[in-house]
Amino acid sequence: MTPSLRTMNHQESQKLAKVNSLEMRDMGFTERDNSDGLDDNHDLNEQSESSQSHLAVDESDSSEDEVAPRNTIGDVPLEWYKDEKHIGYDIAGKKITKKERQDKLHSFLANADDLKNWRKIYDEYNDEEVELTKEETKLIRRLLKGKAPHAEFDPYAPYIDWFKWDDAKHPLSSAPEPKRRFIPSKWESKKVVEYVRAIRKGLIRLEKPKEEPHFYLLWGDDSSSADRTKHLAYIPPPKPKLPGHEESYNPSLEYMPTQEEINSYQLMYEEDRPKFIPKRFTSFRSIPAYENAIKDSFERCLDLYLCPRVRKKRINIDPESLKPKLPSRQDLRPYPVTCYLEYRGHEGAVLSISVEPSGQWIASGSKDGTVRIWEVETSRCLRVWQVGEAVQHVAWNPLPELPVLAVSAGPDVLILNTGFGNEEEQKKIKELLHIGTPNSSDDSDDMSSFLSWFQDEKHDCIRLRHYRTVSSVEWHRKGDYLSTVMPAGESRAILIHQISKKLTQRLPFKLHGLPVSSIFHPTRSIFFVATKKNVRVYDLLKQKLIKKLETQLREVSSIAVHPAGDNVIVGSKEGKLCWFDMDLSSKPYKTLKCHPKDITNVAFHRSYPLFASCSDDCTAYVFHSMVYADLNQSPLIVPLEILRGHTSSDGRGVMDCKFHPRQPWLFTAGADSSIKLYCH
């Protein structure tokens, strides 16, 4: 019998308790209550360990810490080799067979024979047993007891005060430092002055603190929270309409349609037909399934998927604050308000009117082929000319000492002598309107083929015969030049005539589009030509284009120039009126949509800040228009009055409007063959 078996009787109780706790194959340790046995074993083997340590040092040339791990199975789970006979491969690629494992009995006997066997740990990856050193076991014991790994470390070392208190001098009083000892910094004061100046100049802007709301919606939607604003804008889907009383299974009789109403629903269009027709049921059991349930759900899904939703920020603004602050109409008086006189005598629509420069007489041309001169204050018809064709336009000469009248009727333009003035003026007028022999226009331009000057014996006047119908006649401010517009005249659509020399010249510019009207500048040698889309401004002295005004209108119908010459108004056949500021831009400064029908004419007052527009809707609008000398201040436009009184005839209303040259009066010519005078 071996010595290990002889000693098993007196150590059996201790060894059996250590078998499970010191199982090296589980790679762990458990603190044992009976530590005396280990201490005895350690004392017995101290000499043997010390003697063998020298041998171990001689046999090995390196420490265990420097030995690299010998992993022969690679980066795979160890469970894959559980049922295999080998564990990994060597460098030659051959299988490494597993070592035979000892059973419980052999391991117990080995513990009894070898006192150091409890230090051995089985390494599963390398399939070998590793023996722990004495220092490693001490570290493990200290860790199991919750102590520091190293015994030299003292967690409760005494506190070392590094400050020397020997020569410290304490103050007699612990009171705070008085403010009178404070010395302000000059550098900081200069810096504060710089900041103050920067804030006053606006270089530094102070952000106002955001006030947190004191109240919140108890049942509010989370979509309005401030957290969502940091991310993509969340737009909640529209909520479906809630059911009402008519959708009840047993609604009141007042919600039930009659049979006649149900039959009338079938005659309606599908979009006008009601979506739901109420029905009555005696109980819930008698209610059938809703036939449009799937269809409604499908349409609801389509609405949520296809209907675009845009977040609209609602701003709480008083609507009255959005209105422009305009002066009171009482402060803008005088302006025409009521109809004072009516001039009757024409048998057809009055197409054009013109006021004499002194304001005593007014001339009118009608569709009945007559030209009449009226006395303004008494509405008495003073003189009548039978022209024979519909009079398109009449224009009085702007010079008071030259009372002649230009009349366009068909292709002819007549320069009529009104008979006003003294004998010297009449003698001068007769010499001016006399043509000895028929004189053609400038031969170099070959004007004789489309224009001729000759004496009209019937009316004792000058007749200018054009080759197309003349729609508009305008005088120059000096009274010697006259412009005519022929919309179908192509390159010779606009001609300028000189009465004193009996000469005609065409406009030395290429016209882009069909001309509608033309007008001279009130103070400068500038000529305005209005086509159906644009207004072109030419300099007659330099013979070049100055500016092109983009009206952005469908079709221009009329044009008028402010007496100062820097502002232009343009009327259109779509009821819009555009105000242009020549010094500001070539785009409209203001566009007014005032008339529902075509605007036939627009006019400025010579001395009062007024302008007017007339339309086929049988109304005339009067506006206040103040133009300031300061270029930084925009013109003030205020609507004042809507003048009514004319009746419609053949779909036409007010054909023309003109202001009195001295009084705030307005003359209107209507398609009802009447002329009205509106006074303040």
Rounded CA separation 660/675 (Å): 14
pTM: 0.55
- Please report which confidence band the pLDDT of residue 322 belongs to, taking 50, 70 and 90 as the band edges: confident
Q: Tell whether omega for the bond before 334 is within 30 degrees of 0, i.e. cis.
A: yes
Averaging pLDDT over each range in 10-14, 60-64, 326-330, 359-363, which range is the top one?
359-363
Say whether pLDDT at 519 is over 70: yes
- Please report which confidence band the pLDDT of residue 7 belongs to, taking 50, 70 and 90 as the band edges: very low
Cβ atoms of 221 and 236 within 8 Å: the answer is: yes
Rounded to an integer, the average pLDDT of 608-630 is 93
Residues 6+ apart with CB under 8 A from 425: 401, 402, 403
Cβ atoms of 633 and 646 within 8 Å: the answer is: no
pLDDT in tens, 152-183: 888 888 888 777 767 667 766 778 888 998 99
SS (H, E, C) 173-199: CCCCCCHHHCCCCHHHHHHHHHHHHHH
Say whether pLDDT at 517 is over 60: yes
Rounded to an integer, the average pLDDT of 176-198 is 92
- Which has more pLDDT, 608 or 305? 608
Report the percent of the chain where pLDDT is more than 70.
83
Say whether pLDDT at 210 is over 70: yes
Say whether pLDDT at 490 is over 90: no
Residues 6+ apart with CB under 8 A from 509: 529, 536, 538, 543, 545
Closest CA to 394 of 354, 433, 355, 428: 354
Cβ atoms of 439 and 448 within 8 Å: the answer is: no
- Please report which confidence band the pLDDT of residue 53 belongs to, taking 50, 70 and 90 as the band edges: very low
Say whether pLDDT at 605 is over 90: yes
pLDDT of amino acid 187:
94
Rounded CA separation 366/358 (Å): 23
pLDDT of amino acid 371:
94
pLDDT of amino acid 168:
67
Instruction: Out of 75-89, 521-535, 661-675, pick the least confident.
Output: 75-89
Cβ atoms of 36 and 25 within 8 Å: the answer is: no
Rounded to an integer, the average pLDDT of 464-491 is 89
Rounded CA separation 522/425 (Å): 24
The tokens of 34 are what?
């009976």
Rounded to an integer, the average pLDDT of 479-486 is 91
Rounded to an integer, the average pLDDT of 597-622 is 94
pLDDT of amino acid 335:
93
Rounded CA separation 631/566 (Å): 11
Say whether pLDDT at 292 is over 80: yes
Cβ atoms of 592 and 577 within 8 Å: the answer is: yes
pLDDT of amino acid 74:
76
pLDDT of amino acid 579:
94
Cβ atoms of 572 and 527 within 8 Å: the answer is: no
Q: What is the H or E stretch that residue 386 is in?
A: strand 381-386
Cβ atoms of 350 and 652 within 8 Å: the answer is: no
pLDDT of amino acid 518:
93
The tokens of 327 are what?
């002066």
**Residue appearing with tokens 């819930």:** 284
Measure Cα distances from 133 to 29, 50, 137, 313 in Å. Answer: 14, 12, 6, 78
The tokens of 17 are what?
């308790």
Farthest CA pair distance, the chain: 175
pLDDT in tens, 8-42: 333 333 333 333 333 333 333 333 333 333 344 44
Residue at 661: amino acid letter? P
pLDDT of amino acid 62:
41
* Mean pLDDT, all residues of the chain: 81
Neighbours of 452 (CB within 10 A): 17
Say whether pLDDT at 61 is over 50: no
Rounded to an integer, the average pLDDT of 175-197 is 91
- Please report which confidence band the pLDDT of residue 103 belongs to, taking 50, 70 and 90 as the band edges: confident
- Please report which confidence band the pLDDT of residue 373 belongs to, taking 50, 70 and 90 as the band edges: very high
DSSP-derived 3-state class of residue 383: strand
pLDDT of amino acid 35:
38
- Which has more pLDDT, 31 or 523? 523
Architecture of domain 338-435+449-679: 7 Propeller (2.130)
- Which has more pLDDT, 338 or 118? 338
pLDDT of amino acid 58:
39
Beta-bridged to residue 638, according to DSSP, are 624
Residues 6+ apart with CB under 8 A from 271: none
The DSSP annotation for 593-643 comes to: E--SS-EEEEEE-SSSSEEEEEETTSEEEEEEEE--S-TTSPPEEEEEEEE
**Residue appearing with tokens 């009085």:** 396
pLDDT of amino acid 33:
38
